[in-house]
Each structure stands twice: as structure tokens, then as C-alpha cells.
Structure 1
Amino acid sequence: MKWRRELREREVEAVNSLTSFISPYMPTAGTNDGWTWRASLDGKYITNSAYAVIKSRRSEQSNQIADASLMASVWQTLAPMKAVVNAWRLLRNRLPTCDNLRKRNINLGDEELECKQCYSHNESISHLFISCPKTQEVWNEIQNWIAIQTARPSWPDAHWESFSHCCKEKKIGKLLKSIWVGCCWLLWKKRNDKRFEGKDWESKSLVAELKARLWSWNKSFGSLNNEMEFTFWSSNDLISRIWSSHLALAPV
């Protein structure tokens, strides 16, 4: 696709998201559009399938009550709305990863299902953001930066809870949440760059970009002390140095 002007960052993200959603569809000339009942295998409506849908949605409603506090904590993260929305979609498993596209009855070939970062596993939410070897390198770099070791559960909501609540100090907790949200946003951006434009990336460069963006975000939200310099912020062992330094985080 060609554009009359260079796209802004948020426009590139929107185009990539749209491309990811519509690319599996193959329109057929001379064929009319029609309705399909997705709850049955043959696409035809039957009462039993409708009952199963209603029953599953009641179960979903109870799950929504259970994770209400988790979602609320995500929306309170000190990060731009685009990054927060990405985290919300991730934790609700609503990002258009290859496994989710297949669940929507979108036909994808075996090569399209493959993770384009490691080429050793099919792409899914948990693989892309947690268990992919390249993603693991990113989390290792982040843990070296903040000098906090946390468990790495295999599912995003448990990973969020483990990472963002590993410190009881409220101001540190807010910082950890913004790190998690920012990291997942960049991972999704790099995934789209690789899948649609063939752009490779390295874990060290992603974390360096994450540090710069988080510095800008936290400064704009007023959550960092004005005296704190970027060299202090970007060096390893961040959390313990914040604890021991007079350059504390700004009041919440």
C-alpha cells in the first residue's frame, strides 16, 4: 500500500492491526456474502448450539467478576492509552495472534501460524509474550535492569500479577506496572514489524528503547523525581538504587 504522506506511529500500528485481521480472508469473485452460525460445525443454526453459547457466556460473566480488580489495576497504569489498551487486550486474550485468528475460523497455513521470532513454535499469546526464547531474553534483560527476580508463569494474567506485585511499596509497584505494560506494547510492535515488514530486532535494543520510553512517560506523569537523571534511571540494579538513594520516586 502507498500513502500520500508518511504515516505517524499510531497510524502505522492501526494499519498493521488491520492488515493482521484481514490478510487471511480470500474473497472469491462471483460468490455472494452470506450468514454463518459459528457455534455449529456446518454453519447452520440449531437450538443445542445456542444453549451451549448461553451457558458459556454465563461462565464468562463469572470470570469477568473474578478478574475485575486485575483489569482495574491495568487501567491505572502510568502509560499512554495505546500501551494500556494493548495490555488490556493481551490480558483478555483479544490480540489478533495467529491462534486467535484460527479460533475465529480464519484459515492460516502452517507457515503463517509459526512464530516469526523463533520459528520453533506456533504463535499464541502465552508464547509470544512469555515463553518464546527471544521474549525470554527481553525479560532477562529487564530483570537485570531492575534487579528483581520474579516467577514467570506461563499465562499473561499470572505473569502480570507476579511481576507487578513483587514489591509491596506502592510507588515501586506503579513503576513495575508501567515497565510490564511498556514491554508488552513494544513486543507487540516488534512482532508486527517482523511479520509484516520482515524487520529483525534484538533484545538489548528493545530494552534500550523501553527505558527511553518509560523515562519519558514517567516524567510526563510526574512519577519520577525531577532530580533523577537518565543515566541513573537506565543503569542496572534500578530498584535497590532507588531505595538507597535520596532520588526517591515522586509522591503517588
Structure 2
Amino acid sequence: MNATNPLAVVTGASSGIGFELARQFAQHGHDLVIAAEDPGLTSAAAALREHGTDVREVRVDLATYDGVETLWGELSAAGRPVDALVLNAGVGQGGAFLETDLADEARVIDLNITSTVHLAKRVLPGMVARNRGRVLISSSIASTTPGSFQSVYNASKSFLQSFAQALQNELKDSAVTVTSLMPGATETNFFRRAEMLDTRVGRAKKDDAAQVAEQGYEALMAGRPKLVAGSLKTKAQGVAGRVLSDRLKAAAHRHMAEPRRGR
């Protein structure tokens, strides 16, 4: 890898918002380390290399302790400082809490929460020691809403939102910035993987992942603390979320996320 270029690390980069964020870094002259568990990571790396950047792919399951440690080992072996860390890997699970499998809900927690904390714990000390670095945490507009029929997913995003804002305060006397990216429903594989194609939100028109990523990249580079990203409709939802009661937001979320099987 070209040690003169800044280095960005992007998790969950095989598709969707993660891939588009990685593309933003490639277009702006960053070398990349990208991580995901699925075979699509190889084609994603090939597409990113077309921008003339060096890309190292690390195929690991970040929902496991060993997966995060393997990624950290690759970063350590590279011997280069991480200039930007994008903690984007995540998964959802739709359905009534009493009907979903415990293993599926536990994986949401392991990937969305545990892996984010784990990798941040490994990378942030080096950034602070150098007094240089940027961190983007993929939260969600869902972090502001009780997630009826997505109860564990929304709660995981609420954790990430709080985690990002706490880190911002702890690091306020350093040059290291932390940005929370809060997209709404976006056109990715998320709803298929979360088994939510039979919901109103699963069938609805969604935001463009490239647009979300471009806005997220710009917010990160500007050092903004958080950004509701995507369309004007999503940004309006972000505004409404600040004034509506939790009871109303939970009811609205149920309307969009409750399975419609047989109806």
C-alpha cells in the first residue's frame, strides 16, 4: 500500500452504504482496508481499485471476538496509522420479539454493538496518541424511535448513538473527531436480510445509498457530530422525531414494520 496516502478502514463494505462510503474515500485519494464476512467483498474491492487506490480486503465475521481481532491484526501488521475509521458493519432483524430467534437477536447485538465497541477500543488509542483521526459510526434515524417489530435493532442503534456522543465529549480536547451517521430507510440488502420485505417499510421507496454516503463523508470530513442523511423526507423525519412522543413514534414504527403476511 502507498504509505503516502491516508488510510481509511471501512467495515461492512461489501455492499450498500458501507461500499458507497468506501467509494467516497477511494475517490478522495485514501487507501482502504475493507472488511465484511460475505464473498461480495472481493468484487467490492475490485470496483474500488478502479479509482486508483490501494485496497486490502479482510473477510471476517465481525460478530465474533476473533473476527474483530483478526481485522485488528491486519491493521497492526500494515504498520500504518488509521486516518479514518468507519464503524458501519451491522444487521437487522424484523418481526415480533416473541417470535424471533434468540440467536438472530444476539447476532444483532454482537455485530452492531459489540464489534463497534471492540474495534473502537483497538483503534482510538492510536488516533489520540497521534492527535489525529476521524471516526464515523453508522447509527440510524431508528436510534430515536422505539422499534416496534424491530425492537433489538432500534435499541442497538440507540446504543451506538449514545456511544458516539459520549466519545465526542470524552475526546473534545483532542483533534480526533467522532461523527454519528443517521440514515433512514435506504436501498440496500438490509430489508431482505432482516426478513422485512413483507412490511410497509420493506416495500416503500427508499433513499439512495450513494447519496447517504456522500453526505456522511462530507459530515465526517467537516467534523460534524451527527447527521441525519438521505432525502428531504428522511431529514423531515429526523425533525419530527425530536418533537413527537415515544408513544406516537412507537405506533408509527409499528405501522411501517409490522409484518403483513396474509393481508
Q: Which has the higher helix share?
A: 1
Both proteins in one fold, TM over 0.5: no
Q: Which has the higher strand share?
A: 2
Q: TM-score, normalised by structure 1?
A: 0.32
